[in-house]
Amino acid sequence: MAREAFFDTITICECDMGNDGTTDDSKLVKIEMLESAPQFSFLDFEEKKRLVQYMVYGEYLPGDPLIREEETLNCVHFIFEGQVEVVKTSAEGDRVSIAKLGRGEIVGEGALLPSDFQSTVLIRAEKPTKALSLPKKDFKNLMINSPQTAFNILFDILRLTRRRLNEVSNKLADHISEHK
Query: Could you tell me the residue ranges of all domains in the chain?
Result: 3-178
The confidence score (pLDDT) of residue 59 equals: 95
The confidence score (pLDDT) of residue 23 equals: 53
- pTM of the entire predicted model: 0.79
pLDDT 10s digits, 60-89? 999 999 999 999 999 999 999 999 999 999
Contact yes or no for 52/34 (Cβ under 8 A)? yes
The confidence score (pLDDT) of residue 136 equals: 94
99 compared with 5, residue with greater pLDDT: 99
29 compared with 12, residue with greater pLDDT: 29
CATH hierarchy code of domain 3-178? 2.60.120.10
How far apart are alpha carbons 37 and 81 in whole angstroms? 10
Position 13 pLDDT exceeds 90: no
DSSP string for residues in 29-98: HHHHHHHH-GGGTTS-HHHHHHHHTT-EEEEE-TT-EEE-TTSBP-EEEEEEESEEEEEEE-TTS-EEEE
Most confident of 3-7, 33-37, 97-101, 113-117: 97-101
